[in-house]
Amino acid sequence: MSGLAYAFGLTLLAGMATGIGSAIAFFADRANYRFLSVSTGFSAGVMLYVSFVEIFLQGSISLRGAYGVRGEWLNTAFFFGGMALIGVIDYLIPQEENPHEARTEEETASLHKGPAKAAAKGDIHDKGMLRTGVFTALAIAIHNFPEGLVTFLAALQNPNLGIVIAVAVALHNIPEGISVSVPIFYATGDRFKAFIYSLLSGMAEPVGALVAYGVIRLAVGGGEFTPAVTGALFSMVAGIMVYISLDELLPLSRAYGKGHDSLIGLVAGMALMALSLLMMM
């Protein structure tokens, strides 16, 4: 149980980072977009490096041990299966309600106003915006399920690796928290409510991790994970992380940054991940 508690705790902390992003949007006079660019690039670097160098390889070893040479084919199939899964989820979320779309400085500027002032400026939209806010919260919950599973499984299988991935997911959740706050505030005019919704949206990660873990345990009859199951999960997690990095983190990093900010963060994340893996040997 201690291993489960540790994995859940890391996933919970990573999910709560959406609240940090919301707090930055509300309480900082100006959001540091270069920091957001470097941090999301850093998160992408960590995820890409660990996916190809560590997690995909672990999936290959487990599946090859269970099925021989055929395991390599299965490893590749589960890798692209993970990408397909998160791709379908991403496709089902409308772009205007997708929490991973970058918010401009003009959009976040209204978050610093009081409700009355915002209303006077016409920043609070009609009931249509409230609907957008509700769907945004739902979109986040759906989208964060796989991310929570990634963090949880990594921490469960390798506690040290789990810490690194939790940090990467948390950095990725900071700009997401900013993005969530915008439509919720526009819909309600209430900064506190927008902050709470943003924080709660991140809770989908630990909840999703536990639900997915429970389903997997039921599928394997409540026993220990076999090498075949472990390998398949690792391969799918690698695919999910690569998709998140290429489809969400890197474009978001480019949108927030200037010059080589995104590349600096990407290389720094890869370098730190490489050093971490070497030190864990």
Q: DSSP H helical segments within 104-158, as ranges?
A: 105-109, 115-120, 127-157
- Calculate helix-pair angle for 127-157, 2-15, nearest 10 degrees: 150
Res 142: pLDDT: 67
Residue 183 CA to residue 194 CA, distance in Å, equals 8
Q: How would you write the pLDDT of the chain (281 residues) with one tens digit per residue?
A: 578 888 888 889 888 888 887 777 666 555 567 777 888 888 889 889 989 998 899 899 999 999 999 999 999 999 999 999 888 877 776 555 555 555 555 554 544 454 444 444 444 444 555 555 556 556 666 667 777 877 888 888 778 778 878 888 887 777 777 767 766 676 667 778 778 877 887 888 888 788 877 877 777 776 667 888 889 988 998 998 899 889 878 888 888 778 888 899 999 989 988 887 787 77
Determine the pLDDT at residue 79.
97
The terminus-to-terminus CA distance of the chain in angstroms comes to: 25
How far is it, in rounded angstroms, from Cα 265 to Cα 42? 4
User: Cα(58)–Cα(62) distance, rounded to whole angstroms?
Assistant: 6
Coil, helix or strand at residue 68 = coil
d(CA 82, CA 84): 5
How far is the C-alpha of 239 from the C-alpha of 236, rounded, in Å? 5
Other C-beta atoms lying within 10 Å of the C-beta of residue 11: 32
The number of residues in the chain equals 281
| Nearest residue to 272 (alpha-carbon basis) of 42, 56, 17, 35 | 42
Q: What is the pLDDT of residue 133?
A: 55
